[in-house]
Chains A and B, each alone.
Chain A
Amino acid sequence: MSERKENEIPIVSYRTFFYIWIALLVLLAITVAVAVMNAAHALGLNLLIAFLMAWLDLFFFMNLRHERLFLKIIILLPIFAYISIIVLTYSDAFYRMAG
């Protein structure tokens, strides 16, 4: 029954989740601090931290790191689709909507 093993996500220890939670809270504190102190490139840093948090959420809480290879790869498809929507929309908006 090796098939079955491959299909199941192993039990993640409580401790791992606690560490991830603490990491997320630390990132939250940093991102708020960056904004409150009005640091240079605050927007970029905020977004960078948001992506980092999303990555932790995706790979640990959502267990993507234990998923089958297919699900790890196919997630790139919606991301790629979304990026192409953004790029193509901006091929118009960038030239038309400048503030």
Chain B
Amino acid sequence: MAVRAEAGQKAVTARYGMWFFLYTEFILFGMLFLLYSVFRYRFPADFHAGAMEENILTGSVNTAVLLTSSLTMALAISAVKKGNNRLSAGLQLLTMALGIGFLCIKAYEWYVKIVKGLYPGSPVLLKMHPGEIIYFGLYYTMTGLHGLHLFAGVAVTAYMFYFTIKGRISADNCARLENTGLYWHFVDMVWMFLFPLFYLIT
């Protein structure tokens, strides 16, 4: 019992759980990517036409924002392990800010499209080619689901921030923060594929 319940063992158990959870997330998003590929194979021209609506500049900036948030999250974990809770808390705050920044830019992109009447089921959209209807359906579903995951990531990081400043996360006891990091980097990874598939195919 004493050997098994050790902190190290607990940390590794927690990490197993988080990796397994991420596998399920991978399959979840994976199915959407599969649907994307099948429909793109069906409607190559319509997908190109649809992607013309994407703003490559905001998309690229947003990608950079998310990559930077991954950096600050990784640094926050190293900082805690080095015993520097204050630095870690600051970096976590920065991570959350970048995550929210990403969501704001994303919301702006949605807003621009919605003002143009490009949203699922809209009269403008329903007059377009079937492939374009599918393209925008996928766009809203996939970026929306990704955004929800990122939002959950921000919320969980807020908890971790609270634990860190209260000292409940420390160099010896940081499995929770490490797992939050794993999740955050995974959500980031999903975007690494969403970005080229929606923004770079014009």
Contact = CB atoms under 8 A, between A and B. Distances in A.
A98 B41 contact: yes
Interface residues of B, number: 53
Given A54-B189, A57-B188, A97-B42, A21 B11 contact: no
B68 interface: yes
A4 B8 contact: yes
Interface of A: 1, 3-5, 7-9, 11-14, 17-18, 20-21, 24-25, 28, 31-32, 34-36, 42-43, 46-47, 49-50, 53-54, 57-58, 60-62, 67-68, 71, 74-75, 77-78, 81-82, 85-86, 89-90, 93-94, 97-99
A62 B185 contact: yes
B196 A17 contact: no
Interface of B: 3, 6-9, 11-12, 15-16, 19, 23, 26-27, 30-31, 34, 37-39, 41-45, 56, 60, 63-64, 67-68, 70-71, 73-75, 78, 81-82, 178, 181-182, 185-186, 188-189, 192-193, 195-196, 199-202
A40 to B, nearest CB: 14
Given A9-B178, A49-B196, A82-B27, 9 more contacts: A7-B11, A17-B75, A21-B67, A28-B67, A32-B60, A61-B181, A85-B30, A97-B38, A98-B41
A29 B12 CA distance: 36
A71 B11 CA distance: 14
A31 B56 contact: no
Contacts of A21: 67-68, 70-71
A59 to B, nearest CB: 11
A7 B23 contact: no
Q: Helix, strand, loop or mixed for chain A's interface? A: helix
B12 A31 contact: no
A78 B8 contact: no
Identify the interface centre among B6, B186, B189: most chain A CB within 10 Å of its CB. Answer: B189
A3 B182 contact: no
A31 B200 contact: yes
A60 B56 CA distance: 27
B184 to A, nearest CB: 9
A60 B192 CA distance: 15
Contacts of B67: 21, 24-25, 28
A75 B19 contact: yes
A36 to B, nearest CB: 7
Contact of B74 (A17, A32, A34): A17
A80 to B, nearest CB: 11
